[in-house]
Amino acid sequence: MRISRRSFLGATGASALGTALSLFRPPGAEAQHDSNAPPMKTVRTKQTPSICPYCSVGCGILVSTREGKVVSIEGDPDHVINEGSLCSKGMSLYQVAVNERRLQKVRYRAPGGDRWEEKPWEWALAEIAKRIKKTRDATFLPREGGKVVNRTEGIAFLGGSAITNEECYLHAKLARALGVAYLEHQARI
Amino acid sequence: MDLGEWLRGECPACGHGVALAHVDDREGRRTLWCVHCGTPWPFPRIPCAYCLNGDPETLSLLSPDSETAYRAQLCSLCRRYLKEVRNGEPLESFPFDAAYLGTVALDLLAAGEGYIQESPLMARRAEGIRETSSRGETP
């Protein structure tokens, strides 16, 4: 077997090879643990197959995590759909999980205002509900040309592809219950 | 013969067990290598090459924190590990034999965690490995 210089991978491989060769002693011989080398620091990485959350192609991805934190996301080379490749959006998926520019708190800018202010979630959810109710009541159209239509023309509802299947179902339910006709998905725009 | 349909941890040419895996840095594909006859064959990234367990919860990659391209895939179901090197070297010129011998540090790390050496290097002699061996073999 030919061993090139590359085989040693620097000092790590060379010193470890020496240590390993010392393991080739006959059974019963005294083991010598006289190395002064400190124990090597190690990391454990978990690879989990998943599906890209963006468009309906459904490319396979491999998510690498260490201690619960995402360290990299790549295309799954064994996935039948994309065979390891990803589009530019899929390739930047890591930035969805780890991004210091991602907003962590609710920010609100009043109509006509020129600055953002931080608001609590409770306030934001109540405010959204209040405004949806107001717009819905103001623009609800029960009949048109003698036919019952029961639709809300003042609201458009936009879903996103990072939303799960089950969440999409709930969103569609909510939108139809409000009478929304303009229900769309971000990937089709 | 289409080696892409082999999907086993034994060499399709001689039947010897796998000794090392190579992951192509660009395409992410994994290739296993037979230490006995030198045949490479493609294999999926996730499963354990020995017991074909594909549950990601029971599989992990152990590596020095300074060099994560050199790692051992640990299977907590069969308690065996497979050394794996990820780099941009084309498969045709990747020195499997050299990488196999040059990554003995990984054998020591994995054996130190109580995982079983399945390829021929005799790291199984290390103290504490014998107790955890499910095959009950003693050197």
pLDDT digits (tens, 9 = 90+) for A60-69: 999 999 999 9
Facing residue for A48 by CB, picked from B56, B63, B126? B56
Compute chain A's Rg from CA coordinates. 29
The one-letter amino acid at B84? E
Residue B30: closest CA among B93, B91, B101: B91
What does the pLDDT read at residue A59?
A: 93
Distance CA B3, CA B11 (A): 10
Cβ-Cβ contacts under 8 Å for A21 (sequence gap 6 or more): none
* pLDDT at B117 exceeding the cut of 50: yes
pLDDT digits (tens, 9 = 90+) for A133-183: 999 999 999 999 999 999 999 999 998 877 878 998 999 999 999 999 999
Contact between chains at A77 and B68 (C-beta distance less than 8 A): no
Q: How many residues does chain B have?
A: 139
The one-letter amino acid at B131? E
What does the pLDDT read at residue B80?
A: 93
CB B133 within 8 A of CB B53: no
Residue B103 C-alpha, separation from nearest chain A C-alpha, in angstroms:
6
Q: Is B53 on the interface with A (CB under 8 A)?
A: no
Contact between chains at B63 and A42 (C-beta distance less than 8 A): yes
What does the pLDDT read at residue B126?
A: 42
Question: Given CA atoms B122, B101, B53, A68 in this order, what sign does their dihedral have?
Answer: positive
Tokens for A138, please give them.
Answer: 């103001």
Q: Find chain A residues with C-beta within 8 A of B91's C-beta.
A: none
Phi, psi dihedral angles at A114 (to 5 degrees) = -120, 10
Contact between chains at A75 and B28 (C-beta distance less than 8 A): yes
The answer to whether the predicted template modeling score (pTM) of the entire model surpasses 0.80 is no
Contact between chains at B29 and A77 (C-beta distance less than 8 A): yes
What does the pLDDT read at residue A30?
A: 42
Distance CA A8, CA A23 (A): 18
The more confident residue out of B27 and A55 is B27
Provide the 10 A C-beta neighbour count for residue A88.
6
End-to-end CA distance of chain A: 59
B94 confidence band (pLDDT: 50, 70, 90)? very high
Contact between chains at A1 and B101 (C-beta distance less than 8 A): yes
Q: Is A51 on the interface with B (CB under 8 A)?
A: no
Taking CA–CA distances from A14, the nearest residue in chain B reads B102
Tokens for A143, please give them.
Answer: 């009949």
Tokens for A165, please give them.
Answer: 């299947």
What does the pLDDT read at residue A173?
A: 95
Distance CA A81, CA A61 (A): 11
A37 confidence band (pLDDT: 50, 70, 90)? low
Facing residue for A45 by CB, picked from B46, B60, B123? B60
Residue B9: closest CA among B118, B86, B114, B87: B118
Contact between chains at B63 and A12 (C-beta distance less than 8 A): no
Residue A82 C-alpha, separation from nearest chain B C-alpha, in angstroms:
11
Q: Find chain B residues with C-beta within 8 A of A19's C-beta.
A: 104, 108
pLDDT digits (tens, 9 = 90+) for B33-74: 998 888 999 999 999 999 999 999 999 999 998 888 999 999
B29 confidence band (pLDDT: 50, 70, 90)? very high
CB B28 within 8 A of CB A59: no
Compute chain B's Rg from CA coordinates. 14
Distance CA A58, CA A81 (A): 7
* pLDDT at A32 exceeding the cut of 80: no
pLDDT digits (tens, 9 = 90+) for A65-91: 999 999 999 999 999 999 999 999 999
Residue B62: closest CA among A91, A149, A66, A129: A66
Angle at A57 between CA A53 and CA A60, to 5 degrees: 60
What does the pLDDT read at residue B110?
A: 92
Residue B102 C-alpha, separation from nearest chain A C-alpha, in angstroms:
5
Half-sphere exposure of A82 (CA within 13 A, CB side): 24
